Chain A
Amino acid sequence: MFEILEKKCLNPTVTLMRINAPRVAKKAEPGQFIILRTDENGERIPLTIADYDRENGSVTIIFQIVGATTEKLNHMNEGECLHDFVGPLGRATETEGLKKVAVVGGGVGCAIAYPVAKKLHEMGVEVHSIVGFRNKDLVILEEEFKNASSKFVLMSDDGSAGEKGLVTDALKSLIDSGEKYDRVITIGPLIMMKFVCRLTKEYEIPTVASMNPIMIDGTGMCGGCRLTVGGQTKFACVDGPEFDGHLIDFDEAMARGAMYKQFERKAHEDTCNLFKEVK
């Protein structure tokens, strides 16, 4: 079974778990994702792989508690088992031929940006990491990013950590100061990625954005994760999750992401109430 080997609270809303999944660990690459179910009646949720250890057969996931399933997941502890854990799904981040890359992460998206930065760094690529959070309490993986980057910029909305401002401000000033990137890789909230891509388009820097839409099977069967890229319909699960950021229709992706918002809000409340009652 898929035992939780380690659980660590990274901040009040973000948790790290290391899961025993030897088959997945053997194949996992940065940029790919898994789908899990907490229990027999659970929904299937996709989470990007944050790290993996082929030798001890474990896969690390980092998730933000946003809905019923992540709430339930967060209530599980070391030694307990996830009901289902399948992957690695999607295509790995393309890293070949890169010399200098800006990795731009936002919020819990940094959990996914980090393994990409780490792999690039290990390959000898010059990595500049720009990460943004709402405030200092939500900062995650700061040390890890520093170790994987030759330049590290921390931004926060309220200025309580690093500089005050948006990741796009930091990226713009780096580019304006003469830094020449052959690629920008951005992972975070859709709205942030939209503006990162808008900025890099002006500067004509090839940019890849990692998409995390609603999906069920993750193997190309349902088409729920479809999005428009360059006027064509693509499935994030098999064609992605990373796409040319200058071609993604972010507005459509944001609308699709909100499809079940009401249901999700109620399910989350119900789950929270359930846990309160148990207490």
Chain B
Amino acid sequence: MPNMSLTRNEMPVQDADVRNKNFKEVALGYTEEQAVDEAKRCLNCKNKPCTNGCPVQIDIPGFISKVAEGDFDGAYAVITKSSSLPAVCGRVCPQETQCECKCVRGIKGEPVAIGRLERFVADWHNANSTGAAEKPVSNGHKAAIIGSGPSGLACAGDLAKKGYDVTVFEALHVAGGVLSYGIPEFRLPKSIVQKEIEGLKALGVKVETNTVVGKTVSIDELMNDEGFETVFIGSGAGLPRFMNIPGENLNGVYSANEFLTRINLMKAYKEDSTTPIKAGTKAVIVGGGNVAMDAARCAKRLGADVSIVYRRTEKELPARAEEVEHAKEEGIRFCFLTNPIEIKSDENGWAKSVVCEKMMLTEPDASGRAKAVAIEGEFVEIEADCVIMSIGTSPNPLIKSTTAGLDTQKWGGIIADDNGATSKSGVYAGGDAVTGAATVILAMGAGKKAAAAMDEYMQNK
């Protein structure tokens, strides 16, 4: 008999007043009992609407029924048929707009907590699995992956499982891309990311850190001189945007990328870190996406009084509802319909305050969202010695500018077809480098699709 409770099992979390002072993971995960109880809420629908909502088409009722039986290893096997990074996606996927919003249980009551179950299964596997991955037999073909973020890791994993000799090139000193430098420890512990990467290495994947493709070596050199038959570009969208308002280069003003990289990659939040960070006493974060929430919650943990400034209203916030909730619980203030026009300086060249214009919503614009326009003559000045610009990123032009024959969009995205094939023969691309900033799961899906296409290309060569 299914569990007909209208509400899902709550996942234990660190208390808001405790967690807003540490960088440990906020959500603590289900116990076995909670997971089994939650899994029993699934009706095992024949037409699997949830699976249709999943960008990588995980057999969701399939893995959940295994959980209900207490066969957690079996559940893991079902998930990994479609997903390369379950411990990551179970934490950072926007399930509420993907699988969970399609769940029949959600029509009357709360949907099955699919994300929490995915996370449980992956964590259980990581904690209990003893079987080491077997290195597949080599097929003698070489593939290069540029970037070790979600798309690159997914692509590398799928190719390695088929026996390809895969090398991942990473510009930074640590692999993981945005999973390492962007998403904070309290949302995605770095040990989980490293575990995924160790898993790939066990499959024979080589990871070359400190290699900036486009500078250290070019794609043409990889293909012509180093024998790589195919290349996958998963270099992400790492270039920060600024507003181009007066005062943006003052001391104390960061891009969210810099702020988060100092904290996540360089561990600047630790007492003994060699990399400094200044979250100030009063921090203002500009923007309303997940990255803005991450930056705000980091600043809070570093002791600042934090406000998020967003030009539209709460309804239009692009961040996940859960992240917004968490931020509010942790004591972060939201200033809606507010748009910065200038950052003012103290006498030493440090940010002192942010001058904002008040906004109102009008007709929807091309993106379908209500357009925010300034209300004439209405301004507000917010005190801030730290200002973090979190208004989006765009693809890095480094690869485009050093690879002949690679077509890109006007805004910088690499042009690729549904299978990731670019205008250059043998070169594939996927993830944020193609779509612009999106989600981990979409990038992972693109990496997997490209891996299948690269496999076909190399087999038919």
> Which B249-275 residues sit within 8 Å CB-CB of chain A?
249-252, 254-255, 257-258, 261-262, 265-267, 272-275
Interface residue SS majority, chain A: mixed
**Residues of chain B within 8 A of A157, CB atoms compared:** none
- Of B216, B239, B242, most buried by chain A (CB within 10 Å of CB) is B216
Q: In the complex, what residues of B have CB within 8 A of residue A224's CB?
A: 254-255, 258
**B210: contacting residue among A86, A238, A263, CB under 8 A:** A86
* Interface 1/0 per residue, A40-63 and B, CB below 8 Å: 011110000000000000000000
Which of A105-113, A182-190, A214-222 is the contact stretch?
A214-222
Chain B nearest CB from A237 CB (Å) reads 10
How far is the CB of A260 from the nearest CB of chain B, in Å?
Answer: 4
Q: Report Cα–Cα, A52/B238, bound state, in Å.
A: 30
- Decide if B216 touches A86 in the complex (CB within 8 Å): yes
* B224 in contact (CB, < 8 A): no
Cα A87 to Cα B213 in complex, Å, equals 10
Q: Which residues of B contact A256 (CB under 8 A)?
A: 249, 251, 349
Residues of B within 8 A of A218 (CB): 212
State whether A217 and B172 are in contact (beta carbons under 8 Å apart), knowing that A27-B217, A222-B261 are contacts in the complex.
yes
CA distance A226 to B250 in the complex (A): 10
CB neighbours (8 Å) of B349 from chain A are 252, 255-256, 258
Of the candidates B248, B273, B398, which one forms a contact with A238 in the assembled complex, judged by CB atoms under 8 Å apart?
A: B398
- Within 8 Å by CB of B278, from A68, A87, A258, A260, lies A260
Q: Quick check: B255 and A222 within 8 Å, CB to CB?
A: yes
Contacts of B398 in A (CB 8 A): 219-220, 238
Q: What chain B residues lie within 8 Å of A255 (beta carbons)?
A: 250-251, 348-349
**CA of A217 to CA of B209 in the docked complex: distance in angstroms?**
12
* CB of A133, distance to nearest CB on chain B (Å): 29
Is there an interface contact between B173 and A221, defined as CB atoms closer than 8 Å? no
Q: Which residues of B contact A156 (CB under 8 A)?
A: none
Contacts of A27 on B, CB cut-off 8 Å? 215-217
What residues of A have a CB within 8 angstroms of the CB of B254 in the complex?
223-224
Interface pair A89/B278, CB less than 8 Å apart: no
| Residue interface bits B158-176, CB-to-A below 8 A is 1, else 0 | 0000000000000111000
| A260 to B275 Cα, complex, angstroms | 10
Of all chain A residues, the one with the shortest Cβ separation from B265 is A216
| Partner among B171, B217, B267, B278 whose Cβ is within 8 Å of the Cβ of A23 | B217
With A and B bound together, what is the CA distance between A86 and B265 in angstroms?
A: 16
C-alpha gap A223/B267 in the complex (Å): 18
Indicate if B396 sits at the interface (CB-CB under 8 A): yes
Q: Are A227 and B216 in touch, CB under 8 angstroms?
A: no
> B170-214 interface mask toward A, CB cutoff 8 Å, 1 = contact, 0 = none?
011100000001000000000000000000000000000111100
Q: Of all chain A residues, which has the CB nearest B238?
A: A221
A144 to B272, CA, bound (A): 41
A43-B275, A222-B255 are contacts. A86–B171 as well, Cβ < 8 Å?
A: yes
Closest-by-CB residue of B relative to A235 is B239
**Assembled-state Cα–Cα distance A68/B272 (Å):** 12
A187-219 with Cβ < 8 A to chain B: 216-219
Interface size on A, residues (CB 8 A): 40
Contact check, B255 vs A223: say whether CB atoms are below 8 A apart: yes
Asked whether B276 is an interface residue with its Cβ less than 8 Å from the other chain, the reply is yes
Out of B172, B181, B215, B255, which one reaches A87, CB within 8 Å? B215
Closest chain B residue to A232, Cβ basis = B244
A233 at the interface (CB under 8 A from B): yes
The 9 closest A-B pairs by CB, nearest first: A255-B349, A222-B258, A86-B210, A263-B276, A223-B255, A43-B274, A221-B238, A84-B173, A260-B276
Which residues of A line the B interface, CB within 8 A?
23-24, 27, 37, 41-44, 68-69, 83-89, 216-224, 226-228, 233, 238, 252, 255-256, 258-260, 263-264, 267
Question: What residues make up the interface of B, taking CB atoms closer than 8 Å to A?
Answer: 171-173, 181, 209-212, 215-217, 238-240, 242, 244, 248-252, 254-255, 257-258, 261-262, 265-267, 272-276, 278, 348-349, 396-398
* A/B interface sample: 29 pairs, CB < 8 A: A23-B211, A41-B267, A41-B272, A43-B274, A43-B275, A84-B173, A86-B210, A86-B212, A86-B216, A216-B258, A216-B275, A219-B398, A220-B238, A220-B397, A220-B398, A221-B257, A221-B261, A223-B254, A223-B255, A223-B257, A226-B242, A233-B248, A255-B250, A256-B251, A258-B251, A258-B349, A259-B278, A260-B278, A264-B276
